Structure 1
Amino acid sequence: MKFIKRLLIIALICILFGVGTIFGFYIYVKPELPDVATLKDVELQTPMQVFSADGKLISQFGEKRRIPVTYDQIPQNLMNALIATEDSRFYEHPGIDPIGITRAAIVVAMSGSAKQGASTITQQLARNFFLSNEKKIMRKIKEIFIAIHIEQLLTKQEIMTLYVNKIFLGYRSYGFGAAARVYFGKELNELTLSEIATLAGMPKAPSTMNPIYSVERATHRRNVVLKRMLDEGYITRSDYEQARNEPLVARYHGAEIELNAPYVAELARAWAVDKYGADVYESGLKVYTTVDSRLQNSAQEATVNNLISYDQRHGYRGAVATLWKDKTTPWDADKIKAHLNKQPSYGELKPAVVTNVDAKTAEVELQNGDIATLPWNGMKWARRYVTDTRQGSAPKQAADILSAGEQIWVRNIDDTWHLSQVPDANTAMVAISPDNGAVKALVGGFNFVHSKFNRATQSIRQVGSSIKPFIYSAAIDQGMTLATLVNDAPINRWDASQGVAWRPKNSPPTYDGPTRARIGLAQSKNVMAVRVLRRVGLDETIDFLTRFGFKQDDLPRAEALALGAGSLTPMEMAQGFGVFANGGYYLKPYYIEKVEDAFGKLEYSATPQTICHENCDNPTNKRDSANLSEEENLLEQTAGMENEPEFAPKVVSEQNAFLVREMLEANIWGGGDWRQGTGWNGTGWRAQKPLNRRDIGGKTGTTNDSKDAWYTGFSPGLVATVWVGFDDHSRKLGKTSRNANLANDQVSGGEAGAKTAQPAWIDFMSDALVDVPEQRKVVPSDIVKVRIDRDTGLLTRKNDASSMFEYFQKGTEPTEYVSAAASNGGNIYESEGEELF
């Protein structure tokens, strides 16, 4: 009895000592313990996602991939697997498992180090939210106290839900919802028992036991989990055998991008960081852009195909690299595949290696190890590139182009592989709604991986003849009409400061004498534009152009402005043409429609400017929006976009906009009657047959020496700008000769806006307008239509091929008849020092 009493006393002392020790530890670490109540309102770190206006995923940003799920969405097999493997007494213990702790303590006592964790699911949750993974006794003590607090605060269901969503499972995936996507490309509720067991076994060592890193280790761990589930009675022997025998097939699945718009995604990312800060990457925000997925796909395809067409007609620059030469040992398939897997892909362009060349075909190995055949039709374009203005002779056989051992670029067109190459030149396109400024499509370059520089918003390039509509608009504002005669004759003015004569020329260098303004703009007559600029005045013209959002610093104070010496971005060009398309209103472009939080709550909604047609006394309408910079237009959308709608400023009259649209429509459709010998075309005539509708218009733009090619045009509800050029401002787009291997519809001669940029605009509009009915012309009030003489622009009583109807703003129509004024040359601009202006 004395022994028993002593034993009881010792036990009591040990208990009191243990309790006192635990209490002492608690008092010691209490100041360092976090407030576990924050778990009640925890915001799981999920990536920010960017979507199109119609809900297509464009991109996501954030280090942690997470797809939160509710308790009801967690598969029962997953909970059973976790409990069987990680914490078999999960529903019984108060946050810690005394048996597991005792086992771990024995290991510590015997080894002298903490080699075994014995952590419950609740303890793992505590560690993941509040602690590190270092194996130290003090960390374990903190973990125990936090786990107990968690159990007091949360239910078992809440703990399980947080654990399933929080745990790291490798490859930047946090939580089982994300892991299901990353490893198997499935939703959590679509996983098989084998796949569930694989994921459930990974928390022990997610970086090395995942099926991408090691299928063997992941399979072994999966089988351990399945055995534990069988032993605990969660699955039957049949379930166990079937899951155990299932092959483990996994690969990395990135975010399922549904829409290729990386330049838009980058704009949205920069906007979100500017508005919400760097923490936005873990906010779970859903940023919806204004981009229309169908239009974006059309823009992407049109610009890339057009750029590749430009590049290929200038010749083939040869292989990327030569891996082996003739009469040397060829590489085997595995070595080729390993090399190709290190090479990038640029959209449709894929790296390949030539393995065999026949008379009119070639075999290549692709990145995935497949062997593909390049037919003659897929490579006969590839005459040798000499310079941007010279190409070699057309190839006659495949050996003239390719050799075995060469690394090349290929792309698949209609299930047929074609030889290709990465273009040296680049491109951009932007399409906006002229009714509210929403960006509907944007392509910032050939490929975002190849170059992240956004040419649609950042590249300030000379605009060439694209500037002429704005100069003509300034002249209309001062009384010029579409029938006003401007002298289309060479200019020869001595520049005393330079000691040279300035002789601007038409392209092509043909001159028609006194010509109506409508024809001058539609046919892009350079000398006429200079004379129109002189009539308005250089300073007055520059001041007028700022109404369209153009910055004075980008508009040179020289008459060369009329020939396109000014520099703008494609975005600025599109927004400027939007003024003509919408009847005279300047609208700030915007590309963020709304932002939702991770749970769908609206965080931000854009309030774009509106076009006011009556009762327009809103004081915000008086703001000088036309002088806003590009950065203000595109990045500072937070100001004035979440409050009351702001009226767009009216910068030109409705009548002015209508008359400029008439000239832009003539750029495509020309005028006159071909059957009666009076027909003529504008520089944009190539859009006539493909689009075959009269409610479109536009303007070509080609800079001096053809360094930049532009086309900007409008259609119902849409304005689009295309630019093509080299990033190297000194490099010319050049010219091409005809390729004897190609059909008669090939492009040749000097590159220009109509040949180099307009084809992309046509292809884009062909798709964009498929379901858009042709609109009837709406003539504004105070616009009259009178019959004039084609040669003089004056009134006529004739009703034959010499006459036509023309639009005028009321009060500017001619008052004299041709018979009475034929002797003085009609209504001709005059200028001091020149007989005809």
Structure 2
Amino acid sequence: MKIFKWVLGVGVTLAILGSIAVVGLYFYWEDDLPSVAELKEVRLQTPMQVYSSDGEMIAQFGEIRRIPLQLEEIPQPLINAFLATEDQRFYDHFGIDPIGVARAFALLISTGEIQGGGSTITQQLARNFYLSFEQTWTRKIKEAFISLRMEKELTKDEILELYLNKITFGHRAHGVGAAAQVYYGKDVQDLTLAQMAMIAGLPKAPSTMNPISNPERARERRATVLGRMLAENFISENQYRDALAEPIETRLHGAEVTMSAPYLAEMVRADMVARYGEDAAYNSGFKVYTTVNAKQQRAAQRAVQLNLHGYDERHGYRGAEQILWQPDEEAWEFDAIREFLRSQEAIGLTVPAVVLSVAEKSAQVLTASGEPRELPWSGLAWARAYMHADRQGPAPQAATDILAPGQLVRIRATEQGLRLAQVPEPSGAIISLRPQDGSIAAAVGGYSFAVSQYNRAIQAKRQAGSNIKPFIYSAALENGFTLATLVNDAPINQWNPGSGIAWRPRNSPDVYEGPIRVRQGLAKSKNVVSVRLMRAMGIDTTVEYLTRFGFAIDELPRNESLSLGSASMTPLEVARGYAVFANGGYLVNPYFIERIVDNNDEVVYSARPAVACVLCEEERDVVQAPQVISEQNAYLITEAMNSAVWGGGSWQHRTGWNGTAWRIQRSKPIVDLAGRNIVGKTGTTNDVKDTWFSGFVSGLVTTAWVGFDNLERALGSTTMNENLDSSEQPISGTEAGAKTALPMWIDYMETALEDATIEPFQVPPGLVMARIDLATGKLSRKNDYTTRFEYFLPGTAPTEYADSKSSSKDIFSDDDSIF
């Protein structure tokens, strides 16, 4: 009896001391424990998602992939799988399971070490949110305290919902919603019982038991989960056997991206990191809605890729990427070929393929995912050999001239069938914005983001070439010239005593027409006319004027080469400058984020752009963009660029002429949508290293650029391929803005205009209209093909008639002793 009393006393004493110790520890750690508010408002780390303006997902960023779900959105069999495996007494205990604790204590006595296991779902949740995974008494006690507090402040369903959204499943998937997407590409509601069991088994060892990293261990773990579900009567014997027999079929799936726009996505990512920092940007569940229109973005991507393929094909085929077996060697087995092809990347529109056999006018190829397919002659006939940028080999006469068995090549799908392909060597970019507020409608910075993350649309500063001329001509109109002024289109030969050489700017093509009107000079892109205009104004005046369009003054060369486009600009900078003409003279700031929504669907940022409008001052909530040129000047330059598209003169009377953008006339979709309310300007630099086209309707400005990333490489020239007709190879000769960049622009605008505002360009108040003689630019009394109506700024219209005998100087020329 004495021994019993002694043992009882010791037990009570230890219990009291233990209780005092536990209470002491609680108060000691109380400040470190999460508050009630934290427990009720736990912030789930969720990735940033980027959307188009019309709600299509463009990208998802973040180390943690999570798709938060409410408990009622999770299928009951999936919930049962977790309860059966992780905590079958979850709804009965108070956060700590005494049976589990006893089992863990027994392991401690037998091994002398703290072992894993015995933790309830509540304890696992506490550990995942607030603690580490180290096996120490301190962590275990803190875990118990947090669990008890959770059970007191949260309902069982709230705890289970947090757990199912928080737990990690490997491959950066957190929560059952993300796990279903990552492993099976499905919503949780669409999972099979076997797939649910697989997911429920992952928390034990997500990195080593997942079906991608270790399919066999994953199969064993799935069997354990299914066995537990059977034992708990959550499934029948038949369901158990069927699920157990289901094969392990899984692969990594990405986010539910419905529209690929990687260059734009990277622009958003960089902006969000700058705003909020990396951790908050990636893990706060922001939804970023861009200004980009999904249809226009897709059209821009397609236009860049297809036109770069067009350039690449007309310059010739560069040959196989690799040779797997020689003609005298045994061919590989299909399985070996497919396994090899799985290691080769699809790039852009191209997928890798291996040539199996070659006939006279066709070839048989194999890709990683399919059966052998035929590559017809229509997809091969283009592939004459590439020699260099200006030379191609003879047109092939048979498929054997191009391909041989064992070659690793690339193919792409077209409306006409499979086509031999190669990753294009040059780069291209399209940037499209709405001129009223600067919102970006589409942005493509290259052929493939996988090949190069360099965003040429906003980062590549390239010589603008003749794309700069509208700004030069705008300055000329501001400094006394008119669209009717005659300027001498004649060669310039200026000796430079310092360098000992002569500067001889040339037209392209090298054709001179003598005195021509300013309108024609811009529409036909006459280089020497641009030089003479700038010479008349002076370099400083011109440079200062060009800064009105947003160009940095220290990036504008202070010499006459500026008139020919020697300044380097990004496509975005060029498009912003052209927007000034499109919107009536206002400088807008391009932007691409329309609004940012947080994890609670609250708008935390909404763009408030400066708007180009005459009546802005009457609207309190609208910020007015600065007006940098007059509405009248903007309209006159727009008129001149309209002539670049539609030309002038009379074809009936053999006086008709085309501007450099005449190919737009051939686009029925553009003409049907915009009529004659479309304008633009080509651009080509010396040696054809950069090609441009910029053009607009009233509601959309777009700049297209094509060139090599290597600044030393020229785009070259081509001859016609005798295998192809003009519809199959519409471009030949020297590459240029009109041949290389303009077709890309046309392809994009044919679709983009469907969602663009298109209004006639309205004649602004203050302009004077007068009928002029086309040959002299003077007033005319005639009403025939030798005349036209022209617009003038007040006080600048001609006062003399063409039949006047006045000898006043009417042609702006130069001192012939110098020029």
Return the alpha-carbon distance in structure 2 between the equivalents of residues 362 and 588 of structure 1.
52
Q: Structure 1 residue 762: deviation in Å?
A: 0.7
Structure 2 CA distance for aligned equivalents of residues 31 and 593 of structure 1: 49
SS of the equivalent of 1:798 reads coil
Contact 2:597–2:605 at 8 Å: present in 1 too? yes
Deviations 1:608-631 (A, max 9, x none): 11124147499xxxxxxxxxxxxx
Q: Displacement of 1:332 after TM fit?
A: 2.4
Task: State how far apart, in whole Å, the 2-side matches of 1:79 and 1:257 are.
Answer: 27
Residue 712 of structure 2 is aligned with which of 719, 723, 730? 730
Aligned counterparts, 1:261-660, within 5 A:
261-279=261-279, 280-414=281-415, 416-614=417-615, 616=617, 645-660=622-637
CA contact (8 A) 1:712 1:722 kept: yes
The answer to whether the aligner puts 1:682 opposite 2:659 as a matched pair is yes
Determine the structure 1 residue equivalent to 2:692.
710
Distance across 1 between alignment mates of 2:431 and 2:796: 36
Does 1:13 pair with 2:10? yes
Deviates most, 203-212 or 276-285:
203-212
How big is each residue's C-alpha offset from its partner over 1:564-597, in whole Å with a ceiling of 9 and x where there is no partner?
A: 1111100000000000011111101111100001
Q: Give the unaligned 5+ runs of structure 2.
A: none
Distance between the aligned counterparts of 1:498 and 1:22, measured in 2?
96
Deviates more, 1:5-14 or 1:265-274: 5-14
Q: CA deviation at 1:311?
A: 1.3
Q: Secondary structure of the equivalent of 1:674?
A: coil
Q: CA deviation at 1:823?
A: 5.2
Partner of 1:763: 747
Q: How does 1:124-143 map to 2 (within 5 A)?
A: 124-143=124-143
Matched to 1:563, the amino acid is L
Distance 2:27 2:250 in 1: 45
Alignment partner of 1:686: what SS? helix
Q: Is the 8 A contact 2:649 2:657 kept in 1?
A: yes
Which one of the candidate residues 769, 772, 796 is aligned to 1:812? 796
**Whole-Å Cα distance in 1 between the matches of residues 501 and 252 of structure 2?**
66
Tell me: CA distance 1:674–1:484, structure 2 relative to 1, closer, same or farther (3 Å): same
Deviation at 1:244, TM superposition (A): 3.8
Checking the alignment, whether the CA contact within 8 Å between 1:288 and 1:595 is kept in structure 2 is yes
- Offset, 1:29: 7.4
SS at match of 1:657: helix
Q: Does 1:211 align with 2:193?
A: no
Structure 2 equivalent of residue 828 of structure 1: 811
Whole-angstrom CA distance in 1 between matches of 2:323 and 2:333: 15
Match of 2:773 among 781, 784, 789: 789
Whole-angstrom CA distance in 2 between matches of 1:810 and 1:339: 73
Contact in 2 for aligned 1:388/1:733 (Cα 8 Å)? yes
1:150 and 2:150 are equivalent in the alignment: yes
Query: C-alpha deviations, 1:435-469, integer Å up to 9, x for none?
Result: 11001000111111100011111111001111111
Deviations 1:242-270 (A, max 9, x none): 44444443322111211111111111111
Normalised TM-score (structure 2): 0.95
Amino acid at match of 1:808: F
C-alpha separation in 1, matches of 2:376 and 2:8: 89
Divergent runs of 4+, >6 A: none
User: What displacement does 1:171 show?
Assistant: 1.3
The answer on whether the counterparts of 2:699 and 2:757 sit within 8 Å (CA) in structure 1 is no
SS of residue paired to 1:203: helix
Q: Deviations over 1:616-656 (max 9, x none)?
A: 499xxxxxxxxxxxxxxxxxxxxxxxx96431111111110
Post-superposition shift, 1:166?
A: 0.6
Secondary structure in structure 1 of the residue aligned to 2:204: coil
> What is the identity percentage for the equivalent residue pairs of Structure 1 and Structure 2?
50
Shift of the 127–575 alpha-carbon distance from structure 1 to 2, 3 Å rule, reads same
Letter in 1 for 2:365: V
**Per-residue Cα deviation, 1:540-560 (whole angstroms, up to 9, x for no partner):** 000000000011222111111
| CA 1:613–1:520: 2 relative to 1, 3 Å | same
For residues 22 and 377 of structure 1, the distance between their equivalents in structure 2, rounded to whole angstroms, comes to 86
The answer to whether residue 737 in structure 2 is matched with residue 753 in structure 1 is yes
In structure 2, give the amino acid aligned to 1:421: Q
- For residues 46-65 of structure 1, the aligned pairs below 5 Å read 46-65=46-65
Q: Which moved more, 1:243-252 or 1:306-315?
A: 243-252
Distance 1:203 1:381 in 2: 55
Decide whether the 8 Å contact of 2:212 with 2:252 is kept in 1. Answer: yes
1:695 matches 2:677: yes
**What is the deviation of 1:787?**
1.2
Instruction: Report the residue type matching 1:35 in the other structure.
Output: L
Instruction: Output the CA distance in 2 between the equivalents of 1:481 and 1:347.
Output: 47
SS in 2 for 1:419: strand
The more displaced of 221-230 and 721-730 is 221-230
The answer to whether the 8 Å contact 1:581/1:714 transfers is yes
Letter in 1 for 2:561: A
**Which piece of structure 1 moves more, 706-715 or 111-120?**
111-120
Q: Equivalent residue of 2:625, what SS?
A: coil
1:188 & 1:697 partners in 2: Cα distance?
52
SS at match of 2:344: coil
Give SS of 2:772's match.
strand
Aligned partners of 2:487, 2:637: CA distance in 1, in Å? 16
How far is 1:230 from its partner?
A: 2.9
> Residue 655 of structure 2 aligns to a residue in which SS?
coil
C-alpha change, 1:232 and 1:9, in structure 2 (3 Å) is farther
Name which of 639, 647, 650 aligns with 1:670.
647
TM-fit CA distance, 1:238: 4.6
Give the distance between the partners of 1:663 and 1:17, measured in 2 at CA: 98
Q: TM-score, normalised by structure 1?
A: 0.93
Distance 1:822 1:325 in 2: 83
**Partner Cα distance (1:228, 1:774) in 2:** 66
Q: CA deviation at 1:137?
A: 4.0
On the 8 A contact 1:107/1:116 being kept in 2, the answer is no
Separation of aligned partners in 1, 2:800 and 2:217: 95
In terms of mean alpha carbon deviation, does 579-588 or 737-746 score higher? 737-746
Give the aligned residue type for 2:358.
V
Report the residue type matching 1:651 in the other structure.
V
C-alpha change, 1:797 and 1:256, in structure 2 (3 Å) is same
CA deviation vs aligned residue, 1:159-197 (integer Å, no higher than 9, x gap):
111111110011110011111111222222332333222
**2 CA distance for matches of 1:243 and 1:167?**
24
Indicate if the aligned counterparts of 1:586 and 1:648 stay in contact, CA closer than 8 A.
yes
- What is the CA–CA distance in structure 2 between the aligned matches of 1:449 and 1:65, rounded to whole Å? 21
Distance (Å, rounded) in 1 between the aligned partners of 2:302 and 2:314? 18
C-alpha separation in 2, matches of 1:766 and 1:81: 53
Cα distance, 1:741 vs structure 2:
1.0
SS in 2 for 1:588: coil
Q: Mind listing any 5+ residue stretches in structure 1 that lack a counterpart? A: 619-642
Deviation at 1:227, TM superposition (A): 2.9
Aligned CA distance change for structure 1 residues 614 and 767 (closer, same or farther; 3 Å): closer
- Say whether residues 1:201 and 2:201 are aligned partners: yes
Per mean C-alpha deviation after superposition, the further-off stretch among 444-453 and 212-221 is 212-221
Q: Say whether the 8 Å CA contact 2:26–2:145 is kept in structure 1.
A: no
CA apart distance, 1:420: 0.8
Paired residue secondary structure (1:501):
strand
Give the Cα–Cα distance (whole angstroms) in 2 for the partners of residues 335 and 29 of structure 1: 63
**1:500, CA displacement in angstroms?**
1.4
